[in-house]
Amino acid sequence: MEQGQQSADSLNVSQKLHLLTSCQYADKLLGEIESIIGAPGAKSAFPKYKPDISAAQAKVVQDYIARIRSRILRALESQGIDPPAPQLGSVHSIRVTLGFADITFDECRPKAMRGYGEVPDAILPELNGLVSEMRGLIAKLDAYLALGLEQDFQSRLEKLQKAGTDVSLVQTLERIINAHGLVEFRPALANIVARWESTSFEIAVFGRVSSGKSSLLNHIVQKDVLPVGVNPVTSVPTRIVYGASPRGMAWFADAGPRQFEIERLPEFVTEQSNPGNAKHVTRIVVELPSPRLRDGIVYVDTPGLGSLAAAGAAETIAYLPHCDLGVVLIDAGTSLTGDDLSTIQALFEAAIPAVVLLSKSDLLAADDQERVTQYVVDNLRSQLGLNLSVRPVSVKPEHAGLLERWFEEEIAPLYDRHVELWRDSLRRKAGALRAAVEAALLSQLQRSERESEGLGSQFRTVENDLRRAAGRFAEVQNQSLKITDEIRESGGMAIERAAEVVVNRWRENGVSAVDTGSIVGAVLEQAAGEKAAPIAAMVKDLACGLADALARTAAGVGLENAPDENELSGVLKDMPRLDVGSLSLSIQPNNLVLRMSSAWARRRVQKQLREQVGGHVAAAFSIYGKLLEVWVRRVFAELQARFDSYADAYRAQLDRLAHSKPGTVQDEEATRKDLAAARSWV
């Protein structure tokens, strides 16, 4: 039978399609009716309809809708029409929609809104802060969905319980987190469950770029598997686990997992082969048949802190709470840095033991090695209040005994106890989460009292203050990047300045010999430094302003964990300097030049400088501007990460204190019961 024809007792294909699409459209309209009467949990920030329908009426409407849908399905079945199966995944659709929401907020930045009129300067920080805050929340939700760690959460807990694991604390915390909307704690909860499902004991190695992390791990696993060099790795930690034969596995954000030969590992983890993680690698696991990977011991090579690949440093910070033991390498050639101190402090704040090694100790004489080691020990005690031993190590064959002794004395004994240590690690992490949940519940109990005291407006003021501080990020970063662009084109200006200084020196010294090349080099470096100085000043001012705003917010919401005085400004380090190298110039003073006017002499020297080193100077300033741009982006990424680590907790507290309606007596009683349940695990 051709299309359009029909038998005497059935609809033709086109008629069936029309009936199906009509029923689908009717079902969509029924869904809109459900949203009008208020679906449970669907609370719009901008409600369109008045809540003038009673609960009884809403129940009747829902019952009728259910009946209509049931009749629709039976009617289609009577006509031999099968409803199409769902075509789209919920998680994928939500993430796509979040992408559109992210774009929507990005288009609210001041630059995008200028088409509607110039945005007042006084509003710029708050508007930028609002956009960054909203996009940050969207990014966190998208990352949560991308991980997929919480699928079938209850069944995972049941499996663990059947295996003999006591999951009662996690079950209690999961119930409390769900009941009170404490979404900021779900990643930590998911991490604990994921670590429970794997009995491996993760030893992660942290340190700055080129501190020797990869070389140390290669020595431990007794195979040169990790790429070694100064190039920073991309934005994923590399896990090294036991396997019957060598192989690697890579997971991608936009593709399925891929197996590869371990010789190809640099293709996925080095900045040279995978710049900016352009391949969207999300996870790397390397399997080796090494006896030092037996019994569930896993080593993790993390991206270098202080790296020009800012995303890698951010991923290292994000990974940090997942490990069970942190090994922090401090380069003997550069000694202790702010990044090293921040890493050690973060490990202890996450209840993770830390081991400190002085890497590349072969570069130091015996006396210097002892002096530098003691210097690190003293600074850890004075700046962090931690009494930690520091062991010098080296992978050089003639000094490798230091590393082997450390491994045999401090790491090998952990192997026989790794299950016990793994359990201890999980208990510490669960205890830290319990304490955080307890603090959140206490805040909820205080909310009604605070609102009765008329403090709601105060919380809004505190929130706006924090938002304005965060909004300065974009403003200062844009100004800094503008300066780096100007520096790239500053070679000509610097040559003009150098010519003026050279002529003045000639006039001061007569026709005596003058090292013109040294003078020009010093002037060029000074000119570049003066052009770059405002960047350092702006970043320092921003960091101080952010720290002040965080301190005010912490005090305003009743929290004690404010950043230390120099914690944010500590990102301002290792700023690149212009290096023009040695300049070979054949420009010498003579009586003719000295007798002419200063302006004529400057023009003559400028011409000679441009002819002899103009191209070299222009290239040097261009490269310096690019290096500064990379440094600026890295510094701002690190500063943003440090700021957000505090600001996110404060914002969650503000949500609880200022943006929720006072609870009923029953709500407060339920909160008190949950608080007691959390405290019972102390």
pLDDT digits (tens, 9 = 90+) for 635-654: 887 788 778 878 887 887 77
Spatial distance between the Cα atoms of 542 and 632, rounded to a whole number of angstroms:
13
pLDDT for the residue 307: 44
What separation, in Å, do the N-terminal and C-terminal C-alpha atoms of the chain show? 76
Three-class secondary structure of residue 260 per DSSP? strand
Is 284 among the domain residues? Answer: yes
Is 60 among the domain residues? Answer: yes
Average pLDDT over residues 404-432: 80
Is 432 among the domain residues? Answer: no
327 and 214 assigned to the same domain: yes
Which tokens is 435 given? Answer: 């304490």
Range of the domain at 35: 13-78
409 and 532 assigned to the same domain: no
Q: Single out the residue in 126, 154, 189 at which a domain terminates.
A: 189
* CA 387, chain centre distance (Å): 29
DSSP labels, 286-348: EEE--GGGGGGEEEEEPPPBT-S-HHHHHHHHHHGGG-SEEEEEEETTT---HHHHHHHHHHH
- How far apart, in Å, are the Cα atoms of 59 and each of 157, 226, 258? 35, 63, 51
Q: Single out the residue in 189, 213, 228 at which a domain terminates.
A: 189
Q: Which residues of 451-469 are buried (b: 16+ CB within 10 A; e: fewer)?
A: beeebeeebeebbebbbbb
pLDDT for the residue 41: 45
29 and 131 assigned to the same domain: no
Contact of 288 with 243, CB cutoff 8 Å:
yes
Is it the case that residue 486 has pLDDT exceeding 90?
Answer: yes
Which tokens is 547 given? Answer: 């720290």
Is 648 among the domain residues? Answer: yes
Spatial distance between the Cα atoms of 75 and 91, rounded to a whole number of angstroms:
31
Return all residues near 492 (Cβ < 8 A) that are at least 6 apart: 610, 614, 618
Packing angle, helices 153-162 and 186-197, rounded to 10: 40
Instruction: For 184-241, give the secondary structure using H, E and C.
Output: HHHHHHHHHHHHHHCCCEEEEEEEECCCCHHHHHHHHHCCCCCCCCCCCECCCCEEEE
Is 293 among the domain residues? Answer: yes
401 and 359 assigned to the same domain: yes
**Burial degree of 638 (CB within 10 A; 0-12, 13-18, 19+):** buried
- Amino acid letter at 649? A
Is 425 among the domain residues? Answer: no
* CA 296, chain centre distance (Å): 28
- Helix residue spans in 453-558 (DSSP H): 456-488, 491-509, 516-557
pLDDT for the residue 479: 92
339 and 258 assigned to the same domain: yes
Three-class secondary structure of residue 265 per DSSP? coil
Spatial distance between the Cα atoms of 99 and 253, rounded to a whole number of angstroms:
15
Is 427 among the domain residues? Answer: no
Spatial distance between the Cα atoms of 250 and 237, rounded to a whole number of angstroms:
11
Average pLDDT score over the chain: 79
Q: Give the model confidence (pLDDT) of 166-215 as tens digits.
A: 778 888 888 888 888 787 787 778 777 777 777 778 888 888 777 788 88
Q: Give the model confidence (pLDDT) of 509-544 as tens digits.
A: 765 556 777 888 888 989 999 999 999 999 999 999
Spatial distance between the Cα atoms of 323 and 321, rounded to a whole number of angstroms:
6
Question: If you count them, how many residues does the chain have?
Answer: 682
Contact of 105 with 96, CB cutoff 8 Å:
no
Return all residues near 329 (Cβ < 8 A) that are at least 6 apart: 205, 206, 207, 208, 211, 212, 213, 216, 357, 359
325-331 and 354-359 beta bridge pairing:
parallel
502 and 554 assigned to the same domain: yes
Is 438 among the domain residues? Answer: no
Which tokens is 596 given? Answer: 């002419």
Spatial distance between the Cα atoms of 542 and 549, rounded to a whole number of angstroms:
10
Spatial distance between the Cα atoms of 94 and 91, rounded to a whole number of angstroms:
5
169 and 302 assigned to the same domain: no
Average pLDDT over residues 310-316: 51
406 and 471 assigned to the same domain: no
Average pLDDT over residues 587-611: 75
The number of distinct structural domains making up the chain is: 4
| Domain CATH number, residue 385 | 3.40.50.300
Average pLDDT over residues 318-338: 78
Angle 599-602-608 from CA coordinates, rounded to 5°: 145
Instruction: For 120-139, give the secondary structure using H, E and C.
Output: CHHHHHHHHHHHHHHHHHHH
pLDDT for the residue 480: 93
621 and 642 assigned to the same domain: yes
Spatial distance between the Cα atoms of 337 and 211, rounded to a whole number of angstroms:
12
pLDDT for the residue 452: 44
Q: Single out the residue in 416, 445, 468 at which a domain terminates.
A: 416
463 and 325 assigned to the same domain: no
Average pLDDT over residues 118-144: 83
Spatial distance between the Cα atoms of 139 and 143, rounded to a whole number of angstroms:
6
406 and 491 assigned to the same domain: no
Average pLDDT over residues 465-483: 88
pLDDT for the residue 70: 87
466 and 548 assigned to the same domain: yes
Q: Give the model confidence (pLDDT) of 531-586 as tens digits.
A: 999 999 999 999 999 989 888 888 887 777 777 767 788 778 778 888 887 777 77
